[in-house]
Homo-oligomer: A and B are copies of this chain.
Amino acid sequence: MGEGARSVTAKVLAMLEAFTPATPDLSLSELARRAGVSLPTAHRRAAELVAWGALERGADGRYRIGLRLWEVAALAPRGLGLRDVAMPFLEDLYEVTHENVQLAVREGLELVFVERIAGRHAVPVLTRVGGRFALHATGVGLVLLAHAPVEVQEQALAAPLHAYTPKTITDPDRLRELLAAVRRNGYAVSDGQVTLDALSVAAPIRGADAAVVAAVSLVVRADTAEPIALAPLVQAAARGISRMLAPRPGGW
Contacts and interface: CB of A to CB of B under 8 A. Distances in A.
Given A251-B58, A252-B56, A65 B79 contact: yes
5 contacts: A1-B1, A6-B44, A12-B13, A59-B209, A83-B129
A154 interface: no
B79 A129 contact: no
A58 B252 contact: yes
A4 B48 CA distance: 13
B78 A9 contact: no
Interface in A59-82: 59-60, 62, 64-81
A251 B25 CA distance: 11
Contacts of A56: 76-78, 252
B71 A69 contact: no
A41 B5 CA distance: 9
A77 B59 CA distance: 14
A166 B2 CA distance: 57
